């Protein structure tokens, strides 16, 4: 693992790099300057600042590029720093590729910048004391010397030449653009509004027509049908089959409504009525029984409290039903009052 290579790459990327034991290496750019005669361009140099801090950025950079753990990269960096300090103290130079090298002077750690970083273009000569150049009428520049001779006025000056009268320029016949009239009618919007209105009217008419058509088609055509009048029920014998006694009524020319009278349903005799009491609930405490019966009475039920003995109390409901409906009534009471079951008292 080449730690020196990663130190140089990290320094060029971030302009600063901290190595524990060596300090902070900074890449500084000296600005352009003027030495009185020439413009000196900017150059870069590397300096070492003795600081002590906690910074694992270089370790993370090495671990990311080498695909190793941060702790392994940190240990490798510490070993490199210890070896570099030992070499510098022994009088050797520790080289950082393309950046420079570490060396020691009077017990202080220094850094020598590589020549490729110090490479700069040549200086540009610039003399501030040179006067401005005067441009003649012919455009030729007079040579400048260190001594400026006083300018003498010409002995004779010709009168200015007469200027020719200028003719007014004939304007180019551009097509005149008519100004837009404001405040007039916008026929485009009017036509669009009329089209939308016609479309709405057509849609309403179409919907109304379909609704009327559906309404007219739903009503079945009433046909003239004869009205059937059933024969009296008492004329049909029990031992003979029913005979057709319908009468046909002529209703020509008039609309007839079918008024067929349904046959009378036979009355079923369910037998005599039974009067009995049904036990809805059984309690062994009178307080609980009274609480239950008060609740049922608050709902409008006609229930009674029967004390069988000192430890048995019944809540009974008087019932009067036909014999054929007794089982149905018991099932209804069971579902309503007590799912565990009700009994006859």
Please identify which residue in the block is written with the tokens 């018991």: 330
Angle between helices 57-66 and 70-89 (to 10 degrees): 110
Task: Measure the CA–CA gap between 219 and 213, rounded to whole angstroms.
Answer: 10
Residue 333: give the domain boundaries.
273-344
The verdict on residue 297 lying in a domain is yes
Q: Say whether pTM exceeds 0.75.
A: no
**How many folded domains does the chain comprise?**
2
The verdict on residue 22 lying in a domain is yes
pLDDT band at residue 72 using 50, 70 and 90 as cut-offs: very high
The verdict on residue 179 lying in a domain is no
Q: Pick from 118, 138, 165: which residue ends a domain?
A: 118
The verdict on residue 307 lying in a domain is yes
The verdict on residue 339 lying in a domain is yes
Q: Pick from 79, 95, 118: which residue ends a domain?
A: 118
The verdict on residue 155 lying in a domain is no
Neighbours of 205 (CB within 10 A): 10
Q: Are 23 and 50 in contact (CB under 8 A)?
A: yes
Provide mean pLDDT across the span 211-222.
60
Q: Pick from 88, 118, 148: which residue ends a domain?
A: 118
Q: How does strand 43-49 pair with strand 23-30?
A: antiparallel
The verdict on residue 148 lying in a domain is no
pLDDT tens string 176-206:
655 555 556 788 899 999 999 999 999 999 9
The verdict on residue 324 lying in a domain is yes
pLDDT tens string 231-289:
443 433 433 444 443 443 343 444 444 445 455 555 455 567 888 888 989 999 999 99
Angle at CA 2, nearest 5°, toward 29 and 64? 85
CATH of the domain at 281: 3.30.70
CATH of the domain at 100: 4.10.520
pLDDT tens string 15-39:
999 998 899 999 988 888 888 888 8
């Amino acid at each position: 693992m080449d730690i020196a290579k990663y130190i140089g790459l990290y320094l060029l990327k971030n302009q600063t790099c901290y190595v524990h034991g060596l300090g902070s290496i900074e890449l500084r750019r000296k600005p352009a300057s003027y030495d009185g005669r020439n413009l000196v361009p900017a150059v870069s140099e590397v300096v070492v600042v003795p600081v002590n801090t906690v910074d694992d950025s270089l370790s993370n950079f090495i671990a990311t590029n080498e695909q190793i753990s941060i702790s392994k990269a940190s240990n490798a960096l510490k070993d490199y720093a210890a070896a570099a300090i030992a070499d510098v103290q022994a009088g050797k130079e520790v080289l950082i590729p393309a950046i420079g090298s570490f060396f020691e002077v009077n017990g202080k750690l220094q850094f020598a910048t590589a020549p490729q970083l110090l490479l700069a273009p040549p200086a540009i000569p610039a003399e501030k004391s040179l006067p401005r150049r005067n441009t003649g009428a012919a455009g030729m520049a007079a040579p400048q010397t260190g001594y400026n001779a006083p300018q003498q006025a010409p002995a004779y000056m010709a009168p200015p030449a007469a200027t020719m009268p200028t003719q007014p320029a004939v304007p180019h016949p551009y097509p005149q653009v008519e100004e837009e009239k404001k405040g007039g009618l916008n026929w485009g919007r009017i036509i669009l509004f009329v089209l939308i209105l016609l479309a709405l009217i057509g849609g309403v008419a179409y919907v109304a027509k379909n609704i009327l058509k559906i309404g007219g088609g739903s009503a079945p055509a009433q046909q003239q049908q004869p009205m059937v009048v059933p024969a009296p029920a008492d004329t049909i014998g029990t031992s003979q089959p029913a005979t057709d006694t319908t009468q046909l009524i002529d209703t020509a020319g008039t609309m007839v409504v079918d008024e067929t009278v349904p046959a009378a349903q036979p009355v079923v005799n369910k037998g005599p009525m039974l009067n009995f009491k049904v036990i809805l609930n059984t309690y062994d405490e009178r307080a609980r029984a009274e609480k239950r019966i008060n609740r049922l009475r608050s709902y409008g039920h006609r229930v009674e409290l029967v004390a069988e003995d000192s430890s048995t109390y019944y809540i009974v409901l008087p019932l009067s039903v036909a014999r054929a409906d007794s089982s149905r009534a018991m099932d209804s009471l069971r579902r309503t009052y007590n799912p565990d079951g009700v009994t006859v008292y």
